[in-house]
Amino acid sequence: MSKDILKLKPESLWKNFYELTQIPRPSKKEEKVRAFLKKFGEDLGLETIVDEIGNVIIKKPATEGMENRKGIILQGHMDMVPQKNADTEHDFEKDPIDAYVDGEWVTAKGTTLGADNGMGVAATMAVLEATDIVHGPVEALITMDEETGMTGAENLKAGVLDGDILLNLDSEDEGELYIGCAGGIDTIAEFKYKAEEVPEGMVAYKVSVKGLKGGHSGLDIHLGRGNANKIMNVLLMKAAEKYGLRLADINGGSLRNAIPRESFVTVVVPEGEKENFEAYIKEFEEIAKDEFKDADPGLEVTVEETEAPKKLIDEKTEKGLFDAVAGCPNGVIKMSESVEGIVETSTNLAIVKSDGKKIEICSLSRSLVDDDRDKIANEIKAVYEAAGAKARNEGAYPGWKPNPDSAILKEMKEIYNNKFGKVPEVKVIHAGLECGILGATYTNWDMISFGPTIRNPHSPDEMVKIDTVQMFYDFLLETLKHVPEK
């Protein structure tokens, strides 16, 4: 672990971020970071609450002369996405993140960095502990499990918070103010299969699709990056048809909200097709690398002989799986007609995984329009069911409808322009911010989302741009200073 980040400015924010990197905090395993945040608030002598679901709320009174200002809620989430490269040894439930300075950026060695949303939480902590800043009443809302279901936001009770304005600190482009976001829904399919004996005269192989960039399945879905599950399925379908390939197991993708970077399978082919199959894999890699040479130049497709598997997935289920993955929509479905350059509806085939008895497939669909979110999810569900799987839609969460006439938006645009000499861009984000859910509970809130510049969230290439962190924090403090009166 490099402590160089402790020399960065603003020092208080980076100190807090460093401490967060030392505490394991994967989604649904937030016990340690929750205890850390609770102690942090209590040590400051501030009212600190852990609610029934596990969110942490810390309340800081207004500074002198600011008592009549509207209350501000600073909101972020305590959990992080646990992604690592295949060759990286890391236990996200025990090990600290190895963050370091790399030129103009801070990144981590072989794993996600946790700037999403460690930056927002660290900034909130810096505000809470500061004694030299001006602000009205401040409430910190640090939710749990944002990345795998937003259950913290979903279960926040009405009446716990008193503020009027929510500043969500979970966006990833400095100089942009977000006033709306996509809703989402998961489609889960399950193929139960019979394990069959491996026929005589077969050769076993491990085949890998790897080296893809992956990334956030909302923010990066328009970049044309390869989906490991889709690429692997094309390979398998053709090899089954031409070379008699049979599938023993499959493991593609690991997170519902990330574009899958890797897929691994164990297969067998007849001994007589050994040379043809190996040549096919090399040819397939060349074609795939050419297709993704711009968006995903690191793509690799590899094959190596391995021990014979004990069992195979039965042929009927295998064909159903191939058909389901082939027919499943993936990528951008529709661009917004009202907001230029913004994806309106998309879907990502995130996970294809077998466990010896069943194969599970997971897609996450997003849309700025809740009806369209449900429509694409139902289409995917129908594809899976037609292929013989049991499928269901679950975990739907609403989008956040933009309010261009927001009073705090007008105020913050002016503050930003005065501070940095340029007008911030006002945008809608194709990702599931918690604002949509929180705003459904606290309907009186005026809400804005902003943050420093983060690239490749949800992947081991995640990084945060150092100079934008200072700008983000300065803008936050200036906003707190100029919150309107009640």
Report for 79-88, 144-153, 471-480: range of highest mean pLDDT: 471-480
For residue 26, pLDDT over 70 is answered with yes
- Alpha helix stretches (DSSP H) within 188-310: 228-243, 274-291
Residue 1: is its pLDDT beyond 70? no
**What torsion do the CA atoms of 386, 185, 26, 251 make, to the nearest 10 degrees?**
20
Two tokens, residue 324: 């389901």
What pLDDT sits at residue 3?
83
Tokens standing for residue 377: 């999810």
End-to-end C-alpha distance for the chain, whole angstroms: 46
What's the confidence (pLDDT) of residue 126?
A: 99
Which pLDDT value is given to residue 149? 83
**Mean pLDDT of all residues belonging to the chain:** 96
* pLDDT at residue 2, rounded to an integer: 65
Cα atoms in the 13 Å half-sphere on the side-chain side of 254: 11
The one catalytic residue among 79, 145, 170, 186: 79
Residue pointed to by tokens 């009202």: 338
Q: Which long-range contacts (CB under 8 A, 24 or more apart) does 392-396 make?
A: 392/187, 392/188, 393/185, 393/186, 393/187, 393/188, 394/185, 394/186, 394/188, 395/149, 395/184, 395/185, 395/186, 396/183, 396/184, 396/185
Q: What is the pLDDT of residues 450-464, one digit of tens each?
A: 999 999 998 999 999
Whether residue 211 has pLDDT greater than 90: yes
Structure confidence at residue 66 (pLDDT): 98
Q: Report the C-alpha gap between 3 and 98 in whole angstroms.
A: 10
Q: Is 79 a catalytic residue?
A: yes
* Active site annotation includes 446: no
Write down the pLDDT at residue 155.
Answer: 97
Which position among 139, 146, 170, 186 bears the catalytic label? 146
Q: Cα separations (Å) of 338 from 49, 266, 274, 330, 368? A: 41, 46, 54, 23, 11
Q: Is 137 left (phi over 0), alpha (psi -120 to 50) or beta?
A: beta
| Mean pLDDT for the stretch of residues 335-357 | 92
Q: State yes or no: pLDDT of 100 exceeds 80.
A: yes
Average pLDDT of the segment spanning 233-262 = 97
User: Going from the N-terminus, what domains does the chain have, and what CATH number goes with each?
Assistant: 4-182+399-481 (3.40.630.10), 185-397 (3.30.70.360)
pLDDT at 419 over 60: yes
Strands 138-143 and 72-77: parallel
By DSSP bridging, strand 183-192 and strand 358-367 are: antiparallel
Task: Tell me the per-residue pLDDT of 140-184, one tens digit each, with 9 for 90 and over.
Answer: 999 999 998 899 999 999 999 999 999 999 999 999 999 999 999
The residue among 283, 375, 363, 372 whose CA lies nearest residue 325 is 363
CB 62 within 8 A of CB 69: yes
CB 234 within 8 A of CB 328: no
Query: Are the CB atoms for 55 and 76 separated by under 8 Å?
Result: no
Distance in angstroms (rounded) separating the CA atoms of residues 399 and 397: 7
Q: State residue 279's pLDDT score.
A: 98
